[in-house]
C-alpha cells in the first residue's frame, strides 16, 4: 500500500527525466461502509492533487477538479449510502503538461510531480453546516479597541432561517473565552461586525494568536462548529514602505519552492513546518513568497505561529492562454486560494498575476476584482519582469535581476506614489552548487549583499525577496545539465551555502560567524590568498595566529553603508606579526607589509613601484633574494614550525560571542544529527531530516570530502531514498519516516572503518 502524502517514485536527487513528472497515476481505496453515517453529510476533502483530479465512487465519475495546489471536496451521494455497501474510491491524478490548466501551456521553471501529495480527509457533519468563516479586523472607535468583521457562509434551510443563530467566541492563548457575540440569521451568508478590547496585536516579534470559534445553532442546539486561528493586525504597503501595525518594516525575504529531495511536493506536516522555521530562525528573513503557487496549510500555520510574513500567489509561469477554459481556471484557483488562506494573519499580499507574464488587462482586471471581493482586507500584487507595466494591482511587484544593485522604484514603475516590492533578485544570475568552491560561492554571497544594501538604502523599496531559499528540480530548458536550478542560498536539503549566511547575519537572534574561505594557500591560484569575508552580525572580529594577536577587523561600511550588518573583510593576515622583526624600523615594516599584501592582491606579481621599494630595502639592509623570499614564505605562505593555527573571534558588545579555529587537519570523524528525536504517528506518517558531516578536530566541515556512506535503519523507521549516498561538500542528508510501528528506532551510518548512530522515538 502507499501512504499519503504521495508522489511519483522514484524521484532522484538529480538527473531526473523531467517528463516522468507529467504523467498519470491512479489510486484506489475501499472505504468500509461503517466509516459513514447514512443520516448525515459525508464529505471527502483532498488538500492537494497534481494537477487534474478525476474522482470516481463505485465506478461513477463524482468530480473533476482542475488545479494542483488548492483543496476541493466531494459529498458522498445519499443513494450510495442507502446501498449500505463499501465504497470504492478511485482517483486519477493527471499532471500532463498539455492540460488547459495553469501553470501549464508554456515552458515552466519548476516541475509539478504527479500525485496525491497532500492529505485526504473524511468528514461527517450534520446536513446543515458551516461552509466557511472569514474574519478580519481593523481599528476600533478608540485606540484600545478593535473592530472584528465576520462573514459566515452556511448551508441551511433558508425557509426556516429564523430557527438558526450564530454564536461567535474569541478565545485567548489559554483557550479562555474573552468575547462572545450572538447573531440572528437573515440569510445563508451572515455578515456581522463588533468591537473587542484588550487585544494584543499580531506582529513579527510577538505573533499573538487567538481562536475564533463559530457555532451554528438550531432551536438553541449546537449542530456545527468551526474554529480557526486569528491574529489582529494592520498591514499596508505604501509608497514609502510597508507598515505593520503602523510601524515601518523593511521586508527582507526569500522565495520558496515546496520541493524536497526524493519526495518532490509530498512532504508531511513536520517538513513543511521546518521550512518556516528555517526561513525565520536560520535565515532570519521576515517574509517569504510562495513561488509560484499556493503552498501547504501546515507551512502557513507555522508562519502564523512564528511571525513570518507571506506573499502568496496563483499558479503559473509567464504563459497566458487565450482559451477561456484556461482563464476561468485561473480565477477558480485564485478564489480557492483566497478562501482557504484569508484567515492567516501571516498572509499580507495576494499575487493575482501569473508570474512574469505580459500585461493582460482583461484577465487581471478579473483577478483583482475577485480578490478584493473575496477579501477586502488585503492588497493585491502581481509579479512581473517588465518595467512600466500596466498596474491594476495595489502594489507594483517586480523581479529585479539588475547587477549589482536594485533599480530605483520610480525607474521601474514610471509613476509616483505606487507601493513597490522587489519580488525576486539574484538567483539565476549566479547559480552555484554548495560544493562548487569558495570563489563562486563568495560571488553569489556578494551579489545578495549588494541587493540587500540597495533595499535598505532606497526608502521607496518596501522589500526585497531574493531568489531563492533552496535549489530545486526543474525542466531541461532551465538549470544545469542535471535538471537542478542551483539558485538557492541553500541546497535541496536546506544546508546553507555562503549566501545563506548573508541572510542569517542580518538577524539579531543569535551570534553568526562564518567565513568565505580558509587560510590555506593551496585554495587560491598562484598561492595568492584572496580577501576572506566574514558573514557575521558581530561588531568586530579578532584574528590570532598560533595564539598571537594579528588584527581586529570591522564591518565594511564603506561598500555596504546601509546594511544592518555588513560583511567584515579579512584583507590583512600580517597585522602586528611584523612587529617582532625588530631589525626593521616601524616605517620599514610598513613598506614590507604593503609589498606582501600587494603580492596577494596581484597573483604574486609586483608593480614597478613596489619592486623599487623592495630593492631599496634589500640594498639598505644588505639582504639577499633568499632573505626577501623568507618574508613571503613566513607571512604569506605561513611556512613555520608552529601549529599554523588561525583563530577568528567574533566580538559583540565587547564580549567574545563566537569563534572559528582553522589549521592543518590531523584527524576527521563523522557526526550524525536528526532534526528531531521524536516522531509522531498522526493523520499521516511523520519524518525527519538526518544530517551526516565529516568534521575535523576543530569541528569544521571537511568541505572537500565526498566519501560514500551506507545507511541502515531499525524496523520502526523507513529510509527515503538510496541506502548508499556520497557526502557532498563534506555533508550528506537524508530523510527517515514512520511506517506505523512504535518504539525507539536506531539509524546507523557506516563509512569505511567508522560508524555513527542516533536514535528516534516513534509514538502515537
Which residues are known to be catalytic?
356, 424
Listing from the earlier edge strand, what are the strands of the sheet with 743-751?
678-680, 754-763, 743-751, 708-713, 724-726
The alpha carbon dihedral of 413, 418, 423, 425 has a sign of: positive
Grid coordinates representing 78? 445519499
CB 98 within 8 A of CB 311: no
Phi, psi of 584 (to 5 degrees): -115, 145
Q: What angle do CA 349, 350, 354 make, to 5 degrees?
A: 130
Distances (CA, A) of 280 to 73, 116, 283, 508, 689: 33, 28, 6, 12, 18
- Cα–Cα distance, 13 to 433 (Å, whole number): 13
Phi, psi of 588 (to 5 degrees): -70, -35
Residue whose C-alpha is closest to residue 270's, from 737, 744, 713, 672 = 737
Q: Which residue in this structure is represented by grid cell 463505485?
A: 58
Grid coordinates representing 526? 598562484
Long-range contacts of 435-442 (CB under 8 A, 24+ apart): 435/703, 435/728, 435/729, 438/498, 438/516, 438/517, 438/518, 438/523, 439/517, 439/530, 441/497, 441/498, 441/499, 441/516, 442/498, 442/516, 442/517, 442/533
* Beta bridge partner(s), residue 130: 154
Quick one: three-class SS letters along 425-483?
Answer: CEHHHCCCCCCCCHHHHHHHHHHHHHHHHHHHHCCCCCEEEEECCCCEECCCCCCCCCC
Could you please report the per-residue DSSP string of 527-565?
G-PPPEEEEE-SSEEEEEETTEEEEEE-B-TTTSTT-SS
Residue 363, SS3? Answer: helix
The alpha carbon dihedral of 299, 304, 309, 314 has a sign of: positive
Q: In b/e form, how buried is each residue of 358-371, taking b as 16+ CB within 10 angstroms?
A: ebbeebbebbbebb
Grid coordinates representing 49? 492533487
Residue whose C-alpha is closest to residue 414's, from 391, 437, 433, 448 = 391
- Cα–Cα distance, 633 to 627 (Å, whole number): 10
CB 173 within 8 A of CB 206: no
Other CB atoms within 10 Å distance of the CB of residue 283:
26
The alpha carbon dihedral of 82, 83, 84, 89 has a sign of: negative
Residues 6 or more apart whose CB falls under 8 angstroms from that of 357 comprise 316, 318, 319, 320, 384
Q: What angle do CA 520, 488, 8 make, to 5 degrees?
A: 125
Residue 695, SS3? Answer: strand
Q: Which residue in this structure is represented by grid cell 513568497?
A: 289
Between β-strands 129-139 and 87-94, what pairing exists: parallel, antiparallel or unpaired?
A: unpaired
Grid coordinates representing 73? 471536496
Residue whose C-alpha is closest to residue 514's, from 531, 530, 497, 527 = 497
- Cα–Cα distance, 544 to 97 (Å, whole number): 58
Could you please report the per-residue DSSP string of 623-671?
--HHHHHHHIIIIIS---SS---EEEEEEETTEEEEEEEE-----EEEE
Residue whose C-alpha is closest to residue 686's, from 37, 127, 183, 119 = 119
DSSP 280: I
Amino acid at each position: 500500500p502507499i501512504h499519503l502524502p504521495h508522489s511519483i517514485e522514484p524521484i532522484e536527487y538529480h538527473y531526473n527525466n523531467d517528463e516522468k513528472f507529467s504523467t498519470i497515476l491512479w489510486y484506489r481505496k475501499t472505504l468500509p461502509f461503517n466509516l459513514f453515517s447514512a443520516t448525515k453529510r459525508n464529505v471527502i476533502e483532498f488538500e492537494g492533487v497534481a494537477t487534474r483530479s478525476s474522482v470516481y465512487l463505485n465506478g461513477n465519475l463524482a468530480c473533476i477538479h482542475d488545479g494542483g495546489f488548492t483543496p476541493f471536496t466531494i459529498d458522498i451521494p445519499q443513494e450510495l449510502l442507502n446501498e449500505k455497501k463499501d465504497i470504492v474510491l478511485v482517483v486519477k491524478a493527471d499532471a500532463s503538461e498539455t492540460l488547459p490548466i495553469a501553470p501549464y501551456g508554456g515552458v515552466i521553471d519548476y516541475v509539478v510531480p504527479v500525485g496525491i501529495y497532500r492529505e485526504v480527509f473524511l468528514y461527517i457533519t450534520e446536513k446543515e453546516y458551516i461552509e466557511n468563516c472569514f474574519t478580519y479586523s481593523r481599528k476600533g472607535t478608540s485606540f484600545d479597541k478593535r473592530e472584528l468583521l465576520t462573514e459566515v457562509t452556511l448551508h441551511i434551510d433558508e425557509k426556516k432561517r429564523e430557527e438558526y443563530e450564530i454564536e461567535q467566541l474569541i478565545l485567548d492563548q489559554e483557550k479562555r473565552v474573552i468575547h462572545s457575540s450572538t447573531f440572528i440569521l437573515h440569510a445563508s451568508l451572515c455578515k456581522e461586525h463588533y468591537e473587542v478590547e484588550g487585544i494584543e496585536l499580531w506582529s513579527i516579534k510577538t505573533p499573538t494568536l487567538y481562536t475564533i470559534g463559530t457555532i451554528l445553532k438550531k432551536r438553541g442546539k449546537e449542530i456545527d462548529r468551526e474554529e480557526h486561528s486569528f491574529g489582529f493586525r494592520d498591514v499596508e504597503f505604501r509608497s514609502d514602505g510597508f507598515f505593520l501595525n503602523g510601524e515601518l518594516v523593511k521586508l527582507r525575504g526569500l522565495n520558496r519552492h515546496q520541493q524536497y529531495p526524493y519526495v518532490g511536493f509530498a512532504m508531511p506536516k513536520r517538513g513543511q513546518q521546518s521550512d518556516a522555521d528555517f526561513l525565520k530562525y536560520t535565515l532570519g528573513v521576515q517574509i517569504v513568497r510562495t513561488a509560484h503557487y499556493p503552498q501547504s496549510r501546515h507551512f502557513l500555520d507555522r508562519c502564523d505561529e512564528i511571525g513570518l510574513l507571506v506573499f502568496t500567489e496563483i499558479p503559473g509561469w509567464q504563459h497566458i492562454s487565450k482559451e477561456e477554459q484556461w482563464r476561468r481556471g485561473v480565477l477558480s484557483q485564485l478564489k480557492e486560494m483566497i478562501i482557504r488562506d484569508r484567515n492567516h494573519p501571516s498572509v499580507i499580499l495576494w499575487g493575482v498575476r501569473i508570474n512574469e507574464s505580459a500585461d493582460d488587462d482583461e484577465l487581471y482586471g478579473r483577478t483583482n476584482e475577485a480578490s478584493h471581493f473575496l477579501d477586502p482586507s488585503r492588497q493585491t500584487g502581481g509579479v512581473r519582469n517588465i518595467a512600466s507595466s500596466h498596474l491594476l494591482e495595489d502594489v507594483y511587484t517586480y523581479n529585479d535581476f539588475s547587477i549589482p544593485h536594485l533599480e530605483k522604484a520610480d525607474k521601474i514603475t514610471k509613476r509616483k506614489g505606487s507601493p513597490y516590492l522587489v519580488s525576486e533578485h539574484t538567483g539565476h544570475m549566479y547559480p552555484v552548487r554548495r560544493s562548487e568552491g569558495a570563489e563562486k560561492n563568495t560571488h553569489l554571497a556578494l551579489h545578495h549583499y549588494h541587493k540587500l544594501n540597495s533595499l535598505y538604502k532606497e526608502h521607496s523599496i518596501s522589500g526585497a525577496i531574493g531568489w531563492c531559499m533552496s535549489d530545486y528540480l526543474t525542466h531541461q530548458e532551465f538549470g544545469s545539465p542535471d535538471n537542478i536550478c542551483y539558485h538557492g542560498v541553500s541546497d535541496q536539503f536546506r544546508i546553507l551555502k555562503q549566501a545563506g549566511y548573508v541572510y542569517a547575519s542580518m538577524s539579531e537572534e543569535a551570534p553568526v560567524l562564518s567565513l568565505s574561505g580558509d587560510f590555506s594557500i593551496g585554495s587560491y591560484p598562484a598561492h595568492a590568498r584572496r580577501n576572506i569575508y566574514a558573514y557575521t552580525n558581530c561588531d568586530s572580529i579578532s584574528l590570532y595566529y598560533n595564539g598571537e594577536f594579528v588584527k581586529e577587523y570591522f564591518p565594511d561600511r564603506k561598500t555596504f553603508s546601509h546594511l544592518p550588518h555588513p560583511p567584515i573583510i579579512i584583507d590583512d593576515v600580517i597585522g602586528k606579526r611584523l612587529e617582532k622583526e625588530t631589525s626593521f624600523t616601524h616605517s620599514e615594516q610598513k613598506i614590507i607589509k604593503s609589498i606582501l599584501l600587494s603580492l596577494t592582491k596581484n597573483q604574486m606579481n609586483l608593480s614597478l613601484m613596489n619592486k623599487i621599494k623592495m630593492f631599496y630595502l634589500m640594498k639598505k639592509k644588505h639582504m639577499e633574494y633568499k632573505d626577501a623570499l623568507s618574508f613571503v614564505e613566513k607571512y604569506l605562505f605561513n611556512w613555520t614550525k608552529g601549529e599554523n593555527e588561525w583563530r577568528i573571534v567574533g566580538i559583540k558588545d565587547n564580549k567574545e560571542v563566537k569563534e572559528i579555529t582553522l589549521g592543518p587537519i590531523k584527524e576527521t570523524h563523522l557526526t550524525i544529527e536528526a532534526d528531531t528525536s521524536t516522531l509522531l504517528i498522526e493523520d499521516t506518517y511523520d519524518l525527519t531530516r538526518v544530517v551526516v558531516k565529516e568534521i575535523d578536530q576543530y569541528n569544521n566541515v571537511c568541505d572537500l570530502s565526498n566519501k560514500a556512506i551506507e545507511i541502515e535503519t531499525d524496523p520502526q523507521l523507513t529510509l527515503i531514498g538510496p541506502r548508499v549516498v556520497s557526502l557532498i561538500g563534506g555533508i550528506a542528508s537524508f530523510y527517515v519516516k514512520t511506517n506505523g510501528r512504535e518504539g525507539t528506532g536506531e539509524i546507523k551510518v557506516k563509512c569505511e572503518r567508522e560508524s555513527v548512530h542516533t536514535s528516534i522515538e516513534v509514538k502515537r
